[in-house]
Amino acid sequence: MVKVVDEVKKIEQDIISWQRDLHQIPELQLELPKTSKYVMDRLNEMGIEYQTLVNGNAIVGLIRGNEEGKTLGIRADMDGLPIVEETGLPYASTNGNMHACGHDGHIAMLLGAAKILNENKDKFKGNVKLLFQPGEEFPGGAKPMIDEGALENPKVDAVIGLHAGGLSEELPHGKIGIRYDTMMASMDRVLIKIKGKGCHGAYPHLGVDPIVTAAEVVTSLQTIVSREIAAVEPVILSICRINGGFNQNIIPDEVELEGTIRTFNNETRKKIDRRIEETVKGITMAHGADYEYLYEYKYPPLINNKEFTYEFLKSAKKILKEEDIVELKEPLMGGEDMAFFLEKVPGTFFYLSNQKEIGGKVYGHHTSKFALDENELWKGSALFIQLALDYLNK
């Protein structure tokens, strides 16, 4: 038997040190040369075999057990955000980017799990795949990894991942949150160009005003949600950027609208896509304008597998007190491309609540003063290890 908590506590300072090192070198999107090298260096030190995908920016490690069996995938995303850090921490980033969403902690927790599992590979059957993924924030690294074979050879039978920080208001500090079905919404992007005819602001009758047209489009799009989708179905359609014009007395040629759509239902996503374009087409035609339209299906809804989540819960109770495991009442409208892994194989995604106060205050994800409480990181590693042992030896 592996005394998981005892083993993880022995390397807790390593996990914290890895997180601090990674925190200082945040990189963006699908280009993570320093981050990937750091992970590969640690895997080399541990003697864990791996391959790289996505032009060397994704890493798939493999730990083989003592005999043939199932394969469990454990995923950690690795990218940061283009935010200038203002935490004042001694290990703060100074390169103009920031781990403002906790991905540095995700990597460190998976490295911790990898170290212990590799040292105890004689105690489980099958395999553990370590899925170090770039580009979660943008443009999405899970699908390219899957397309390049991350879930094959050996075939992954189940997958797990986590998100640290403070995503859910239902979750007190130090506890984990689970759900047995929908955990997070889809995340899609819409880009609309309203094409009019520019003219002097004093003579609007000589042109076609894309600003007035765009204003009508923005208001009308909200009725898709309020009048065409059942009130009990959560849907968000937010226009988040309007760009047009360059002077107080000139009507421009075009206006750009960009926004996000969130839902838990793939059929609803398709309906909203169709109805947005139909609405834009009708309004622009009525105003004598034209349009260009792009709807990008980015991340699908993140849906946990009920049976696997129940197995994870049984393992989690060996690590944490029962009161430290919270079944969340509501899913989040935020998106996560872990959803692509969960579309392919059964698995679960859970939250670890571990935000750190900066100056006596807690700051949210994607802000310049967001920070993780490193004293809670051991829990993520321990939960990964315990699940791997239980699942693979079942």
My answer on whether 255 and 328 are in the same domain is no
374 is a catalytic site residue: yes
Contact (CB, 8 A) for 244 and 192: no
My answer on whether 41 and 132 are in the same domain is yes
167 residue type, one letter:
L
Domain residues for the domain of 293 are 187-299
- Residue 226 is predicted with a pLDDT of 97
My answer on whether 41 and 109 are in the same domain is yes
Tell me the CATH number at 276: 3.30.70.360
297 is a catalytic site residue: no
Question: Taking the mean position of all CA atoms in its chain, how far away is CA 219?
Answer: 30
- Give the model confidence (pLDDT) of 105-130 as tens digits: 999 999 999 999 999 999 999 999 99
My answer on whether 62 and 9 are in the same domain is yes
Domain boundary among 299, 324, 359: 299
In the chain, which residues have pLDDT < 50? none
Contact (CB, 8 A) for 177 and 170: yes
Question: Taking the mean position of all CA atoms in its chain, how far away is CA 259?
Answer: 18
- Residue 1 is predicted with a pLDDT of 81
Determine the Cα angle at 354 with ends 348 and 359, to 5°: 155
My answer on whether 367 and 355 are in the same domain is yes
My answer on whether 294 and 308 are in the same domain is no
Catalytic residue, from 38, 299, 351, 363: name it: 299
- Give the model confidence (pLDDT) of 259-307 as tens digits: 999 999 999 999 999 999 999 999 999 999 999 999 999 999 999 999 9
My answer on whether 60 and 95 are in the same domain is yes
Paired strand residues for 239: 259
Indicate yes or no: pTM above 0.75: yes
Tell me the CATH number at 96: 3.40.630.10
- Residue 352 is predicted with a pLDDT of 98
CA torsion through residues 76, 107, 54, 154, sign:
negative
Question: Structural domain tally of the chain?
Answer: 2
Catalytic residue, from 7, 374, 376, 391: name it: 374
My answer on whether 294 and 307 are in the same domain is no
